[in-house]
Amino acid sequence: MGSRSTSSAPRSVIWRRLHQARDAETTRFWAFPFSVAVGLNGLPKIKERAPLDFENLERNYRPEAMLAAYQEAQIAAKLGEVPVGAVILLDGKVLARAHNLRESRQSPLAHAEVLALQGASAQTGSWRLSDCDLYCTLEPCPMCAGALVNARIRNLYFGAFDPKAGAIASLYGLASDPRLNHEIPWLGGKMGTECSELLGRFFGQLRTD
């Protein structure tokens, strides 16, 4: 038997962190501008993809949109829902806003981000939201991160990182995975302290009840 060539070893690293922002509460992950396809030999084949537009990410951030998402999270808390809110902007104006309604609707799909995406699609008449930015108070979970990728969201801004379910940076990097057909520039930690404290108060109250 001939020896196996080492060149056939699969490439395990397809994306990595390239930059960490100066702001201690804001972390930015930059993905390689490549997509991955499987070649005839079953190995990853890298092909070039147009670089993502990170230059305007911080410049396009709208504090009032994150505040609106925070206000949606406060509404959720009053309803006994996990306090997470989301807002979608189009051309700098609020297109849709929503908060968690999982308990109220008894639906595993009723996360703030998914409800906001549904509202935005209803307003635009299209599932494709490639000119829209989404703001949410908590790092999206795998379901919501996948929905954002499928909706072709332009930019993502979120508040608190979620070490237990976050799918943007904490556990997975779905928004920056070049194997997918869309990548989303993102910034986390915006109003991170306020969003984390709101969640902490909510769960603290649950423990005392």
Query: Which helix (H) or strand (E) segment is 193 a member of?
Result: helix 192-208
SS3 17: coil
Closest CA to 166 of 136, 129, 191, 198: 136
Instruction: Indicate which residue of 113, 183, 194, 197 is catalytic.
Output: 113
Determine whether 113 is an active site residue: yes
CA angle 189, 99, 57 (to 5 degrees): 35
> What are phi and psi for residue 146, nearest 5 degrees?
-65, -40
Q: What is the DSSP string of 124-167?
A: HT-S--TTEEEEEEE---HHHHHHHHHTT-SEEEEEE--TTT-T
Instruction: Say if CB 76 and CB 46 are below 8 A apart.
Output: no
- The set of catalytic residues is 113
